[in-house]
Protein backbone atom coordinates (compact mmCIF):
# COMPACT_ATOMS: atom_id res chain seq x y z
CA UNK A 1 0.00 0.00 0.00
CA UNK A 2 2.93 2.30 0.63
CA UNK A 3 4.08 1.95 -2.96
CA UNK A 4 0.64 2.85 -4.24
CA UNK A 5 0.59 6.11 -2.23
CA UNK A 6 4.08 7.08 -3.45
CA UNK A 7 3.09 6.26 -7.03
CA UNK A 8 -0.03 8.44 -6.78
CA UNK A 9 1.99 11.34 -5.29
CA UNK A 10 4.57 11.07 -8.06
CA UNK A 11 1.84 11.09 -10.70
CA UNK A 12 0.21 14.10 -9.05
CA UNK A 13 3.52 15.99 -8.97
CA UNK A 14 4.25 15.20 -12.62
CA UNK A 15 0.77 16.34 -13.65
CA UNK A 16 1.16 19.58 -11.68
CA UNK A 17 4.54 20.26 -13.27
CA UNK A 18 3.21 19.65 -16.79
CA UNK A 19 0.20 21.92 -16.18
CA UNK A 20 2.45 24.64 -14.74
CA UNK A 21 4.76 24.48 -17.77
CA UNK A 22 1.77 24.70 -20.13
CA UNK A 23 0.42 27.71 -18.27
CA UNK A 24 3.79 29.47 -18.34
CA UNK A 25 4.13 28.75 -22.07
CA UNK A 26 0.67 30.14 -22.82
CA UNK A 27 1.31 33.27 -20.78
CA UNK A 28 4.68 33.95 -22.38
CA UNK A 29 3.21 33.63 -25.88
CA UNK A 30 0.33 35.92 -24.94
CA UNK A 31 2.64 38.53 -23.45
CA UNK A 32 4.89 38.61 -26.50
CA UNK A 33 2.10 39.38 -29.00
CA UNK A 34 3.19 42.18 -31.31
CA UNK A 35 0.64 43.83 -33.58
CA UNK A 36 3.22 46.02 -35.34
CA UNK A 37 2.54 45.97 -39.10
CA UNK A 38 5.19 45.10 -41.66
CA UNK A 39 7.69 48.00 -41.53
CA UNK A 40 10.17 49.24 -44.12
CA UNK A 41 12.95 51.75 -43.58
CA UNK A 42 12.21 55.25 -44.89
CA UNK A 43 14.53 58.18 -45.51
CA UNK A 44 13.74 61.37 -47.33
CA UNK A 45 14.53 64.96 -48.10
CA UNK A 46 12.28 67.98 -47.57
CA UNK A 47 12.85 71.04 -49.75
CA UNK A 48 11.12 74.31 -50.60
CA UNK A 49 11.96 75.88 -53.95
CA UNK A 50 15.02 73.63 -54.14
CA UNK A 51 16.36 74.69 -50.72
CA UNK A 52 16.49 72.30 -47.75
CA UNK A 53 13.92 72.75 -44.99
CA UNK A 54 15.53 72.32 -41.55
CA UNK A 55 13.89 71.54 -38.19
CA UNK A 56 10.56 70.37 -39.64
CA UNK A 57 8.49 67.55 -38.16
CA UNK A 58 7.52 65.03 -40.89
CA UNK A 59 4.61 62.71 -40.06
CA UNK A 60 3.45 59.69 -42.09
CA UNK A 61 -0.03 58.28 -41.35
CA UNK A 62 -0.86 54.90 -42.97
CA UNK A 63 -4.20 54.82 -44.77
CA UNK A 64 -5.21 51.26 -43.83
CA UNK A 65 -3.59 49.90 -40.65
CA UNK A 66 -0.91 50.76 -38.15
CA UNK A 67 0.25 53.84 -36.30
CA UNK A 68 2.06 56.93 -37.51
CA UNK A 69 5.79 57.30 -38.14
CA UNK A 70 7.73 60.47 -37.41
CA UNK A 71 10.96 62.18 -38.37
CA UNK A 72 12.69 65.54 -38.01
CA UNK A 73 14.70 67.19 -40.75
CA UNK A 74 18.34 68.12 -40.28
CA UNK A 75 20.09 71.20 -41.73
CA UNK A 76 20.16 69.57 -45.21
CA UNK A 77 16.43 68.71 -45.08
CA UNK A 78 17.12 64.99 -44.62
CA UNK A 79 14.95 62.85 -42.34
CA UNK A 80 14.66 59.25 -41.16
CA UNK A 81 11.29 57.89 -40.05
CA UNK A 82 10.66 55.95 -36.85
CA UNK A 83 7.47 54.05 -36.14
CA UNK A 84 5.43 55.13 -33.09
CA UNK A 85 7.01 52.32 -31.04
CA UNK A 86 10.50 53.67 -31.78
CA UNK A 87 11.39 51.01 -34.35
CA UNK A 88 12.99 52.34 -37.55
CA UNK A 89 10.69 52.74 -40.54
CA UNK A 90 7.04 53.11 -41.46
CA UNK A 91 4.20 50.72 -42.24
CA UNK A 92 4.25 49.30 -45.76
CA UNK A 93 1.22 51.18 -47.08
CA UNK A 94 0.06 54.40 -48.69
CA UNK A 95 0.42 57.32 -46.27
CA UNK A 96 -1.01 60.77 -45.70
CA UNK A 97 1.92 63.08 -45.00
CA UNK A 98 1.95 66.16 -42.79
CA UNK A 99 4.84 68.62 -42.40
CA UNK A 100 4.90 70.86 -39.34
CA UNK A 101 7.14 73.92 -39.05
CA UNK A 102 10.64 74.12 -40.39
CA UNK A 103 12.83 76.87 -41.72
CA UNK A 104 14.62 77.62 -44.96
CA UNK A 105 18.05 79.26 -44.93
CA UNK A 106 17.74 82.92 -45.93
CA UNK A 107 14.01 83.25 -45.20
CA UNK A 108 13.42 85.38 -42.10
CA UNK A 109 10.57 84.57 -39.78
CA UNK A 110 8.82 82.20 -42.15
CA UNK A 111 8.05 78.57 -41.85
CA UNK A 112 8.25 76.32 -44.85
CA UNK A 113 4.64 76.15 -45.95
CA UNK A 114 4.31 76.99 -49.61
CA UNK A 115 1.85 75.44 -52.06
CA UNK A 116 2.87 72.03 -53.34
CA UNK A 117 3.08 71.51 -57.07
CA UNK A 118 1.82 68.28 -58.62
CA UNK A 119 4.41 65.55 -59.03
CA UNK A 120 2.95 64.70 -62.43
CA UNK A 121 3.59 61.58 -64.51
CA UNK A 122 7.35 61.91 -63.95
CA UNK A 123 7.04 60.95 -60.27
CA UNK A 124 8.86 57.71 -59.53
CA UNK A 125 7.46 55.06 -57.22
CA UNK A 126 8.09 56.01 -53.63
CA UNK A 127 8.24 59.74 -54.31
CA UNK A 128 5.74 62.29 -53.12
CA UNK A 129 2.40 62.38 -54.90
CA UNK A 130 0.34 65.36 -53.65
CA UNK A 131 -3.42 65.08 -53.32
CA UNK A 132 -4.70 68.38 -54.67
CA UNK A 133 -3.65 71.58 -52.98
CA UNK A 134 -2.31 70.99 -49.48
CA UNK A 135 -3.98 72.62 -46.50
CA UNK A 136 -1.77 74.99 -44.63
CA UNK A 137 -2.11 77.38 -41.78
CA UNK A 138 -1.36 78.33 -38.24
CA UNK A 139 -3.34 76.92 -35.35
CA UNK A 140 -5.07 79.13 -32.80
CA UNK A 141 -2.28 78.42 -30.32
CA UNK A 142 0.37 80.03 -32.53
CA UNK A 143 1.83 76.63 -33.41
CA UNK A 144 4.12 76.38 -36.45
CA UNK A 145 2.51 76.30 -39.87
CA UNK A 146 1.56 72.90 -41.24
CA UNK A 147 1.32 71.45 -44.72
CA UNK A 148 -1.24 68.65 -45.07
CA UNK A 149 -2.81 66.80 -47.97
CA UNK A 150 0.37 65.14 -49.19
CA UNK A 151 0.72 61.43 -49.83
CA UNK A 152 3.54 58.93 -50.26
CA UNK A 153 3.82 55.18 -50.59
CA UNK A 154 6.16 53.00 -48.54
CA UNK A 155 6.99 49.74 -50.32
CA UNK A 156 8.34 46.52 -48.82
CA UNK A 157 11.21 46.08 -51.27
CA UNK A 158 13.79 48.53 -52.40
CA UNK A 159 14.87 51.85 -50.97
CA UNK A 160 12.16 54.17 -49.71
CA UNK A 161 13.72 57.60 -50.19
CA UNK A 162 10.85 60.08 -50.31
CA UNK A 163 11.48 63.47 -51.89
CA UNK A 164 9.05 66.01 -50.40
CA UNK A 165 8.93 69.34 -52.23
CA UNK A 166 6.79 72.06 -50.66
For 46-98, write each residue's pLDDT tens digit.
Answer: 999 999 999 999 999 999 989 999 999 999 999 999 999 999 999 999 999 99
Contact indicator for 99, 73 with CB cutoff of 8 Å: no
Taking alpha carbons only, the member of 145, 136, 75 closest to residue 111 is: 145
Domain formed by 39-165, architecture: Sandwich (2.60)
Contact indicator for 102, 46 with CB cutoff of 8 Å: yes
The full set of domain ranges for the chain reads: 1-33, 39-165
DSSP letter for each residue of 3-32 = HHHHHHHHHHHHHHHHHHHHHHHHHHHHHT
For 34-58, write each residue's pLDDT tens digit.
Answer: 678 999 999 999 999 999 999 999 9
pLDDT, the chain, mean = 77
Percent of the chain with pLDDT over 90: 49
Amino acid sequence: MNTHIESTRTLGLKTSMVLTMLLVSCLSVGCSYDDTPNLSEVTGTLTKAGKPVADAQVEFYPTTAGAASYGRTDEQGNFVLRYSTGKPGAAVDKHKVTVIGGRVEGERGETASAPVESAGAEAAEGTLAPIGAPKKGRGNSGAPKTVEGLSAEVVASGPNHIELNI
